[in-house]
Chains A and B, each alone.
Chain A
């Protein structure tokens, strides 16, 4: 009798566990259309070959502005962008800590724009940056450092507790991507081929205080320390996006920080001509982010620096890597082709314009 009860209990626990996992998978946002950057964090863990020369960490200024395929094709550099929507410095630190559990790159590139934030900004960004990580102490520490006052740590361990109310808004997308996802990035790069030229940029507003905050510095120090500890070269980079405005005072702080810590800091805004960027053609949202043509130009420029400064060997002759990257490049060009075709047919990219799709009654 006792044995029977124990077996029943174990079965109940198993059923509850399985149902919990299934429900959690169903109810969590899939980020396969519109806000696709939400899927970036998770996608890294599907990557079979986690052995890269360069790892990028940061916000949209890395995942929209650099193309690992270009770095491979031009310089034979293998790279992955562990970027996320409004990835804050502490997000970047913990994502790097987690990445180092899988691989040890030669160079880590950190996008410094996030230094402007000293506090968590929005719960939605936390979820996009954190939820995709497998459960670990790193993930929980990252959540703890990032949470808004209304958030609960336990919801990062069991996201069902956060997303349970999505039962109301379940759509075909949720069922389609219940168990598998599309690959939306190219080693972390989010491709957009459309063009929206820079119009009139808003004038930079005066700030009360130009100093970056203590928390931002604390985590930048941690990134620097982590890289040193692991023998990794850290590069600080300001990507060539025209907006948000990058103040001279901010730039000087990064120059000073790099000098103090013996790091390379590159402000690509200083080299727009050398990069060859044309903001009439190379941006898809009027200067906030580069489009494919812009990202390829920026990558060619940056790859040259990476190769010359850090002697990263050209691996294009490595047969195994060659095959892996060829497959990646095929997918890259296929997506590029599809996006151009969509642009021609509809005048915009379907995946990023769900509202227009609804208006035009198009189901992508």
Chain B
């Protein structure tokens, strides 16, 4: 069930009506049922995968907690009998058992993710090697990637690691845990919520609050505007350019790059707007996932503002544990001893950073394109960190202040840099991606921008007018947003103006949205991640 399908709108109307009509204590149960119905419609076999994840995480969570209790009881009972050393040994024994359970949970669930997502990628790579030796190649397997598996797997892994770390107690009601994992607005493309952020608001009883509901509805409408009016319209040109690299190189690559940046932003943030808006209509608060990322002045800042919940997940559950794990500490010691302090302290940080970006890349998709994309992100971040002192020196000498023009330059530079990296997202392999990137410099012919060639990319003049108007609206919205919540500002305006804006937005989506026959309404780009 796609967010942009009529069945989703119908599903939402029924669910929200029931949600506020039934006794409040049943609300979370209705949400659980609704989430399973939602998931069922994306393919009943998907349910098996998510159930396996829920059940395994639930029982292992309880098991870890049981070991905690056992330890506490044992230590209490034998407080006087045991020596300090014996207590430490016992604790280590329990921790080792908990560690084993945690590993079992991670292996099982990440194993499912790996099998469904990466089997064919692995086969393709094995086949490349086999073909060198002219050996019989392996057949690909037919596995359908369950919707949102990367998102819910990461959610549950975050949960079980936190339980292991003792950050909070495990959820004892399997239904409630199931709701946390399968909460339908987040199933499609995140955000990757943390249990301690989401759980309470999810299970609370919610009364109908007109203002909250209206704010949620406005956000949903805004999300549909981004997705249907902008993302699903511009995709035609993006696909024309990127699927025909032999025809569209040079300046077209730049056009495709910028168009894809617009598409991805409108698509992903639009989807998140719908997620957060729907949750808000249900009285549930979900964390923000974007803070105007295209206004970032550096790549580091960009990653703090884009897909925030994914970035923090990788930071908390991969980067930090990796940085302080035993092998890394050994590496650190070894590096310092052999290469000196300056280089030695960098090696573990670099290694952890590159591992994180490698994982981020492969999380985004099972292809070398994403792996290279991830690693390039990491390398650029490291280089910019290294060059920071140089920049500072240069700035002191040239005396460039923090002027509007310079800020704009930095924003433009970051936008183009990130857009260049995303070329790897668009073309079929790494080689073509690089070839297309360099063709921008090798064939700097600007004629297609003015000779009407852009009208042959699947968009006509009317589409461009809608897109330009849409992008201007997006940018204006973001600029206003810097001063505070746009919805709060609107709510202070006279009712006639306010409602006129809502009605215009509603009809803009209805009429100018690229949906229905004649438009292949695209799945949200992040659905498959």
Contacts and interface: CB of A to CB of B under 8 A. Distances in A.
Interface in B206-224: 210
Interface stretch (A60-68, A159-167, A356-364): A159-167
Interface stretch (B138-146, B289-297, B319-327, B514-522): B514-522
A152 B445 CA distance: 45
A12 B503 contact: yes
Interface string A242-278: 0000000000000000000000000000000000000
A330 interface: no
B519 A165 contact: yes
Given A8-B495, A8-B499, A12-B503, A168 B517 contact: no
Contacts of A164: 510-513, 515-516
A167 B516 contact: no
Interface string A1-40: 0000100100110011001100100010000000000000
Interface residues of A, number: 23
A151 B511 contact: no
Contact of B210 (A5, A11, A155): A5
Nearest to A148: B517
B40 interface: no
Given A5-B210, A165-B518, A168-B460, A16 B503 contact: yes
Contact of A19 (B507, B512, B513, B517): B507
Nearest to B499: A12
B460 A152 contact: no
Contact of B506 (A11, A16, A123): A16
B516 A165 contact: yes
B495 A167 contact: no
Given A164-B511, A167-B511, A15 B503 contact: yes
Nearest to A164: B511
Contact of B517 (A5, A12, A20, A162): A162
Contacts of A318: none
A102 B514 CA distance: 39
A152 B511 CA distance: 17
Nearest to B500: A15
A237 to B, nearest CB: 34
Given A5-B210, A23-B507, A164-B510, A123 B495 contact: no
B459 to A, nearest CB: 11
A150 interface: yes
A323 interface: no
B462 interface: yes
B6 interface: yes
A154 interface: yes
A152 B6 CA distance: 8
Contacts of B507: 19, 23
A165 B513 CA distance: 8
A212 B512 CA distance: 43
B257 to A, nearest CB: 27
- Residues of B in contact with A, size category: 20 to 34
A168 B462 CA distance: 7
B482 to A, nearest CB: 29
B460 A151 contact: no
Nearest to A152: B6
A165 B463 CA distance: 11
A256 B499 CA distance: 65
A23 B517 contact: no
Contacts of B515: 161, 164
B517 A160 contact: no
Contacts of B516: 152, 155, 161-162, 164-165
A146 to B, nearest CB: 14
B4 to A, nearest CB: 12
B1 to A, nearest CB: 13
B512 A167 contact: yes
Contacts of B510: 20, 23, 160-161, 164
Interface string A174-186: 0000000000000
A23 B507 CA distance: 9
Nearest to A167: B511
Nearest to B511: A164
B438 to A, nearest CB: 37
A331 B80 CA distance: 111
A155 B515 CA distance: 12
Nearest to B5: A152
Contacts of A168: 460, 462
Nearest to B10: A154
A138 B510 CA distance: 26
Contacts of A19: 503, 507
B468 to A, nearest CB: 15
A19 to B, nearest CB: 6
Contacts of A155: 516-517
A88 B519 CA distance: 26
A5 B516 CA distance: 34
A151 B518 CA distance: 11
Nearest to A5: B210
Contact of A154 (B6, B460, B503, B519): B6
Q: Which of A5, A12, A123 has the most chain B CB atoms closer than 10 A to its own CB?
A: A12
Nearest to A27: B511
Contacts of B460: 168
Contacts of B512: 164, 167
A157 to B, nearest CB: 10
Contacts of A123: 517
Nearest to A153: B6
Contacts of A162: 516-517
Contacts of A27: 511
Nearest to B462: A168
B503 A151 contact: no
Contacts of B518: 165
A59 to B, nearest CB: 23
Q: Which of A154, A155, A164 has the most chain B CB atoms closer than 10 A to its own CB?
A: A164
B61 to A, nearest CB: 42
B192 to A, nearest CB: 32
Contacts of A160: 510
Contacts of B506: 16
A150 B515 CA distance: 12
Contacts of B511: 23, 27, 164, 167
Interface string B491-529: 000010001001100110011111111110000000000
A155 B518 CA distance: 13
Contacts of A154: 6
Nearest to A154: B6
A154 B6 CA distance: 8
A165 B516 CA distance: 9
Q: Which of B6, B460, B462, B516 has the most chain A CB atoms closer than 10 A to its own CB?
A: B516
A5 B512 CA distance: 30
A152 B460 CA distance: 26
Interface in B443-493: 460, 462
Nearest to A161: B516
A361 to B, nearest CB: 23
Contacts of A8: 495, 499
Nearest to A165: B518
The 10 closest A-B pairs by CB, nearest first: A168-B462, A154-B6, A164-B511, A12-B499, A152-B6, A167-B511, A165-B518, A8-B495, A150-B517, A162-B516
Interface of B: 6, 210, 460, 462, 495, 499, 502-503, 506-507, 510-519
Interface of A: 5, 8, 11-12, 15-16, 19-20, 23, 27, 123, 150-152, 154-155, 160-162, 164-165, 167-168
30 contacts: A5-B210, A11-B499, A12-B502, A12-B503, A15-B499, A16-B503, A16-B506, A23-B510, A123-B517, A151-B517, A155-B517, A161-B510, A161-B515, A161-B516, A162-B516, A162-B517, A164-B510, A164-B512, A164-B513, A164-B515, A164-B516, A165-B514, A165-B516, A165-B518, A165-B519, A167-B462, A167-B511, A167-B512, A168-B460, A168-B462
Given A12-B502, A12-B503, 12 more contacts: A8-B499, A15-B503, A23-B511, A154-B6, A155-B516, A155-B517, A162-B516, A162-B517, A165-B514, A165-B516, A167-B462, A168-B462
